[in-house]
Amino acid sequence: MNKSEKYACDMSPSTYTKNSYITPVDALHLSQQWKIENFTTLVKLALPGNCLRTGLFRHPQLPEAFWQLCLYPGGKRAENANNVSLFLKMSSTSPTKEVRIKVEYRFHFLNDKEVALFSNVNVGEFHAKPPKGGHSWGLRNIPKQKILNCVRDDGSLVISCHIELLPDINRTQCYNSWKLLNTNARTVSGDFIKRQLAAFDDGFMADCVLECSGKQIPVNKFVLSAHSEVFKAMFSYDQLIESTEKKVIIEDAEYEAVS
């Protein structure tokens, strides 16, 4: 076969399709919201090294890593005095296992209207090694006045943390596009689709709401979780505000696009 025949064969539609592949890469998302009461007094009286911590949280698809927020109202060390220190800590769920993960983490301080008055975005490589098994990244020197400007009318500080990470890339599978396109599909009846749409329109048996542009859409957590790993993780943790208040606020999106 000469070169022109080879390229003609490679570019033929059937051959090209059968030899194309796809590697789906889905990022994992975690979030935690933390309310600290009487924060003004806390900042005024806390000593360097005094630390507040949240409960541990983790993603079901990355069970080997625990996450936790750590706040030092008086600064982490003496050299951080007159500042507030905030860290995201990753710990291995096993004291004998080494865990290494690179993530993007976002800190937001939210006012009474859930608007972020302070935001910080960073990428860090967390490396937990035995026997200590923990590693932290964050902000050592947040000026006290900057954080006091974010205190709510009731005297509390609300911190929101969002984490984006990837599962073990080495285990990511590659699929033949042709086989995916030719996978046998089961037909779904039109009546079933109509019943689903009717239940969505009238909010029948809804157990959660999506809030967008000031409007609320009644939804079902099971349906959301079945179609999205983000929602599945969100509703898996009782301490998350989305789970406790049964409401998910979607920002930077039009109501028509969500509904």
Q: How far apart are CA 208 and CA 4, in angstroms?
A: 60
**Do 249 and 139 fall within a single domain?**
no
**Do 128 and 86 fall within a single domain?**
yes
Q: How far apart are CA 51 and CA 86, in angstroms?
A: 10
**Do 60 and 144 fall within a single domain?**
yes
**Do 196 and 107 fall within a single domain?**
no
| Full-model pTM | 0.62
Mean pLDDT per 10-residue section of the chain, whose length is 259 residues:
43 54 89 97 96 94 93 96 96 89 96 95 93 90 96 97 91 77 63 74 77 81 76 68 72 61
What pLDDT does residue 207 have?
84
**Do 98 and 206 fall within a single domain?**
no
- Structural domains counted in the chain: 2
**Do 152 and 226 fall within a single domain?**
no
**Do 57 and 164 fall within a single domain?**
yes
52-53 sheet: strands from edge to edge: 52-53, 65-72, 83-92, 134-143
In a domain, 22, yes or no: no
In a domain, 246, yes or no: yes
**Do 93 and 204 fall within a single domain?**
no
DSSP character for 80? G
**CB neighbour list of residue 90: distance below 8 Å, 6 or more residues apart:** 65, 66, 67, 99, 101, 103, 126, 128, 134, 135, 136
Task: Look up the domain containing 240 and give its range.
Answer: 189-258
Residue bearing tokens 């109202």:
73
In a domain, 241, yes or no: yes
